[in-house]
Amino acid sequence: MNLIFLGAPGSGKGTQAEFVSEKMNILPVSTGNILRDAVKNQTEAGLAAKKFMDAGDLVPDEVVIGILKDRIAQPDAKNGFILDGFPRTVEQAKALEEMGVKIDLVVEIDVPDERICGRMGGRRVCDKCGASYHIEYKPTKVESKCDSCDGNAIQRADDKPETVLDRLKVYHEKTAPLRDFYAKLGKLKTVEGQIEIADTKRLTFEAIGIQ
């Protein structure tokens, strides 16, 4: 099964993708996490991506498409994957089709911009494994320490309020058109993001048809 999670930055799509990946035992693929690793390790792709990410812009399609293609060609992606943060442009969606990737379902997590701005400040991410947290809605067990590895849960540089607004704008301009793209293919299911993560989880599982 191949799934796509679609949603604005801070919509909680990464958190839901983690739940579904665990439940269905399919590989989560977050292009944001892969890119942050690439930046940290100063790879060629990382060096190309950094300035776009810091500004809240999209990394150029050719860079991200290359990264995604390499990742899903790995043996651990054989039984399916959940794409979190890809595609983000219609070009990227077309590239997926050209790769011959069959998408079963696209789950959109819909959250109003006002609510996103309000909660972005509390968001944290593990600097080692990429696991996501929120100081209020999904705190780590030990303050600032990742629950799943020995990494630290830190605030991302691009979660500053100014950058968040830029990222929301980019989302509405470039990524939101993907709703139509996948709705026309009959593959889109929309979940209204709830205040409580557990409530969104229930609705997400319902949309996918799992329990």
Check residue 53 for interaction with ligand ADP (CB under 6 A).
yes
Partner from ligand ADP, Zn ion, none contacting 32, C-beta within 5 to 8 A by type: ligand ADP
Check residue 88 for interaction with ligand ADP (CB under 6 A).
yes
Of 71, 124, 167, 201, the catalytic one is 167
Of 156, 160, 174, 179, the catalytic one is 156
Give the interface size with Zn ion as a residue count (CB under 5 A). Answer: 8
Identify the DSSP state of 59.
P
Stretch that binds ligand ADP, among 31-39, 69-77, 142-150, 202-210 (CB under 6 A): 31-39
Partner from ligand ADP, Zn ion, none contacting 129, C-beta within 5 to 8 A by type: Zn ion
Three-class HEC string of 103-143: CCEEEEEECCHHHHHHHHCCEEEECCCCCEEECCCECCCEC
Strand 2-7 with 123-126, pairing: unpaired
> Cis (ω within 30 of 0) for the bond into 177?
no
Q: Which long-range contacts (CB under 8 A, 24 or more apart) does 37-45 make?
A: 37/130, 38/67
Q: Which are the catalytic amino acids?
A: 13, 88, 123, 156, 167
Residue ranges that bind ligand ADP, judged by CB under 6 A: 9-10, 31-32, 35, 52-53, 56-59, 64, 85-86, 88, 92, 158, 167
**Contact residues: Zn ion, CB under 5 A:** 126, 128-129, 131, 146, 148-149, 151
